[in-house]
Amino acid sequence: MARLVAVILASLSLFFMFGAHPGAVSRLEQIRARGVVTCGVGPGVPGFSEVDKQGRYSGFDVDICRALSAAIFGQPDRVRYLITPTIQDFLKASDIDLVSRRLTWTLTREGLGVLFGPVMFYDGQGFLFPKKLGATRIADLAGATVCVAANSEHDVNLTSFMSTNRLTLKRIPITDSQTARIALTTGRCQAFSDDLSALGGVRAVLPAPSDFEIMSELMTKEPLAQLVRQDDVPFFNILRWTIFATIEAEELGISSANVDQMLKSTDPRIQNLLGANGRTGGALGLDAKWAYNLIKFLGNYGEMFERNVGAGSRIKLARGLNKLWKDGGLIYAPPLQ
């Protein structure tokens, strides 16, 4: 009898440890029942996540949410956006499906109980400065006055970089990007240090944006990625392959403009991506045309980059590390087959 009780207790222990709940509703099923993807976004950052007076969201981070909607529903705008300040806030709100808000993928953050998707933007801390300064490397800023958000990670990074590289800068702590804009315009600061993804937005609202430059040399690595809960593995796979599909589309030359024409291609990679054989959609629990739909509405990775933050946008960031691997960048997708 004692042995039987021990076996039963051990079985129950394994049941609760591994979440063996046959009747549990998956994240994808919850999303379909709800009719929308609920996406946690950050406060307004030009080019990544903005909301206009009509309540319409736009930006690179927002486009990832819209791509998920297109993959799941065949339509890009079945998304509800909620400001989500921290990962802890996300984990407390069970109805938020993912977070898409310029978060750097780190070990300690992942240890909170989340999974980061593929890197969708290789970011890093750098400098914004007037072109007339003539700087091409960080070392050229020696002796310059540099604004940085006080007591922030950027402040810590700047101080550490100065110490490690024996670089003397006149650090001026400020409160926010609005203060940085004023300081750069008035000449109080000769440079402003922040992540590239933020510097583009600051430059865009300066009185003469073309008079300012963002240095290509970086002090830190800040790989930005979306995140989901650790136990939402099937939904995590949908997030991953949604982003990979946009990358694969760019590599194969498939865009929002030619995707219908590409349906006629006999190239096996294109057939796999656009659902001609139906295998990839079935592996994710999605329709055969899941990738076709997101490319049709959102375009490929390059289109999303250029539209939101690239040379064709007001942010005007260089592609840099965010070029495809075959063009000398780090953007790469596994085979979609």
Quote the pLDDT of residue 23: 59
Quote the pLDDT of residue 24: 81
What token pair was written down for 30?
């919850």
Residues 227-257 have pLDDT tens digits of: 999 999 999 999 999 999 999 999 999 999 9
- Non-local (6+) Cβ contacts of 86 within 8 A are none
- Give the β-pairing of 170-174 and 145-149: parallel
| Nearest Cα to Cα of residue 219 among 141, 294, 284 | 141
Query: Could you tell me the domains of the chain?
Result: 27-122+223-327 (3.40.190.10), 125-220 (3.40.190.10)
Mean pLDDT of successive 10-residue segments in the chain (337 residues)? Answer: 41 40 82 98 92 94 98 98 95 97 96 98 97 94 95 94 94 87 91 95 93 95 98 97 98 98 95 87 94 98 98 95 97 93
Quote the pLDDT of residue 4: 40
Quote the pLDDT of residue 330: 97
- Give the β-pairing of 212-214 and 98-99: unpaired
Residue 176 CB-density burial (10 A; 0-12 exposed, 13-18 middle, 19+ buried): exposed
